[in-house]
Structure 1
Amino acid sequence: MGATLLVVVLASLATSAVAMVVTALVARRIGKIAVVDITWGLVFVAIGWVAYLTGTGSVRSLVLAVLVTLWGGRLAWHIRRRALGAGEDPRYAKMLAQVPEGERFGFAVRKVFLVQGLAAWFVSLPLQVAAATDRPLGWVAALGVVVLLVGVTFETVGDAQLAAFKKDPSNKGKVMDRGLWAWTRHPNYFGDSAVWWGLFVIAAEAWPGVLTVLSPVVMTYFLAFATGARLLESEMARRPGYPEYMERTSMFFPLPPRRRTNA
């Protein structure tokens, strides 16, 4: 197993590196760092299949590759559709504004593409480790699939509900607090976290997959407390009605909405 795992890990690292190098070159050509957000989902798809092809070819690895393709493909499609015709993402624009123009690409390579490439490789460790084992699937893997599908459902439904809300002119200036957004302020981030916990559970059924627990932990930390929900809310909290929304709605994990209070 050791030699196979080493091959899978190195092949996955190379896949992540190539994906980010290509993305960096595309970003430089079109002048838009945010293209990396599209690659984010696709790099996991690539790693999933590379791990399967360089590993033992087990059913577990195949299932993981298919499931991560379902998640990553949908995410990339959604972000691409949302980004069409839009300018640079405000997060990256703010980051680059502090850097002299001639140094911005090098800065982006170090702070965005390199960091995301290494993060994708680390978070995908459950896929890599599972690819080096050949234990048959059991009920634990089935539980992992259920958790993952719950996550994909939250992401898909939450994104669709938000898009429909924004299309209605009567909602301009209002805070989305309906559907899944009444249970959690970030159904897409929660769903993303659930996806990676589901993938981990599937991998953990076969030793040494359980040792990759830091991968979903790190992903959840970034989604909830670092670059995800907390960062977004630092801006959203300034919008009229959002502080009240925060008071009655769970930040991350879905919970029944608290009763509205009268002003």
Structure 2
Amino acid sequence: MVSAALVALLAAAVVMGSTAAVSRRLDRVAVVDVAWGLAFVAIALTLAVVWPDAHSWLLAGLVVVWGGRLAWHIGRRSRGHGEDPRYEKMLGGPGWSAGARRVVTKVFLTQAVVAFLISAPLQVAAAYDVRWWAVVWVGVAVWALGFVFEVVGDAQLEAYKARPRELRPKILDTGLWGWSRHPNYFGDACVWWGLWIAGALALGWLPGLLTVWAPAAMTYFVRNVTGAKLLEKTMSQREGWDDYAARVPLFFPRPPRR
């Protein structure tokens, strides 16, 4: 287990270190968002290469599909844009103007450590054998549900934004966005609960209990810190938002109230 943790930490450090070098050359900190999913891809693939078996490669495949799609989506969406206001606020200025040490510590090092910690179920899965293969497939099903929510939610949002402003409603409240105000973030959380079930819980109750904090932490962050709640601060200023929020839940989906 210690060896798997060291390998995962090294993989995350390589991805974030390389991204920091690119970021400094471009003077744009927000490129770290593209590297977020790729850090997990690197961790999962490295673990599968070092400890190759069907279980590790299955998990690696799930992470590659999720992380690769996320990196592609964020990269395409942010192309041609300047610095993300979130990082400007965090660092006190655009790009690397706050100083290399501050940027590396607060952004790249932090994200490398978080990716390493959240990947704990993958690390445990590389170190131990599967006990319950049926649980693995339950985890794959939960992962698939989350992936569908994330991909379809993003696609519906893109289609909404592509419509002329004067022809689209003030609030997107159709499709999955009529069931949850943030279906893509809900999907992201489900992906990691699925990976925990398939990766750690399938090994036995003890590995599952020792790593359950990882998907719980991911859910907390995408709901309350970096995702849904943060986005609501700006979305809540839109016309018709109060009515939308009264009908549609913040995170966990359900049929909207009429």
| Interval of TM-score (by shorter of Structure 1 and Structure 2) | over 0.9
**Superposition CA RMSD, Å:** 1.7
CA distance, structure 2, for counterparts of residue 100 and residue 188 of structure 1: 27
- The letter for the 2-side match of 1:50 is T
Q: CA deviation at 1:106?
A: 2.3
Shift of 1:209: 3.1
- Cα deviation, 1:143-191, whole Å, max 9, x if unaligned, reads 1000000000001101111111111114457111110000000011000
1:93 to 70, 82, 88: 88
Deviates more, 1:92-101 or 1:151-160: 92-101
Equivalent of 1:127 in 122, 126, 138: 122
Aligned residue for 1:48?
44
Which residue number corresponds to residue 188 of structure 2? 192
Letter in 2 for 1:143: V
Shift of 1:134: 2.5
Partner of 1:240: 239
In structure 2, the CA distance between the partners of 1:74 and 1:102, relative to structure 1 (3 Å rule), is closer
How far apart, CA to CA, are the structure 2 residues paired with 1:98 and 1:79?
22
Q: After TM superposition, give the deviation of residue 250 of structure 1 in Å.
A: 0.6
Once the two structures are superposed, residues 42-91 of structure 1 have per-residue CA deviations (whole angstroms, 9 ceiling, x without a partner) of 11011001111222x22111110000001001100100110111111121
In 2, the alpha carbon distance for the partners of 1:67 and 1:78 equals 17
Deviation of the 1:137 alpha carbon: 5.5
AA at the equivalent of 1:133 = Y
Q: Which runs of 5+ in 1 are unaligned?
A: none
CA contact (8 A) 1:7 1:54 kept: no
1:79-158 maps to which residues of 2 (within 5 A)?
79-97=74-92, 102-135=97-130, 138-158=133-153
What is the match of residue 69 of structure 1?
64
For residues 107 and 246 of structure 1, the distance between their equivalents in structure 2, rounded to whole angstroms, comes to 37
- Give the paired residue count: 254
**Is 1:183 equivalent to 2:182 in the alignment?**
no
Quote the offset at 1:200 in angstroms: 0.3
Contact preservation (8 Å) 1:158, 1:188: yes
CA distance in 1, matches of 2:120, 2:112: 13
- Distance in structure 1 (CA, Å) of the matches to 2:218 and 2:196: 11
Any stretches of 5+ residues in structure 2 without a counterpart? none
TM-score by length of 1: 0.92
Change (3 A) 1:71 1:100: closer
Please report how far the alpha carbon of residue 228 of structure 1 lies from its aligned counterpart in structure 2 after TM superposition: 1.1
CA contact under 8 A between 1:8 and 1:50: conserved in structure 2?
Answer: no
Greater mean alpha carbon deviation, residues 172-181 or residues 147-156: 172-181
What's the CA shift for 1:242?
A: 1.8
- Between 1:99-108 and 1:128-137, the stretch displaced more is 99-108
2:216 counterpart letter in structure 1: V
Is the contact between residue 60 and residue 137 of structure 1 (CA under 8 Å) also seen in structure 2?
Answer: no
Are the equivalent residues in 1 in contact too, given 2:4–2:123 (CA < 8 A)? yes
Q: Aligned to 2:181, what secondary structure does the other structure show?
A: coil
Equivalent-residue separation in structure 1 for 2:12 and 2:228 (angstroms): 25
Letter paired with 1:160: A
Q: Deviations over 1:185-232 (max 9, x none)?
A: 001100000000000001211145312111000000001111111111
CA 107–191 in structure 1, closer or farther in 2 if over 3 Å, else same: same
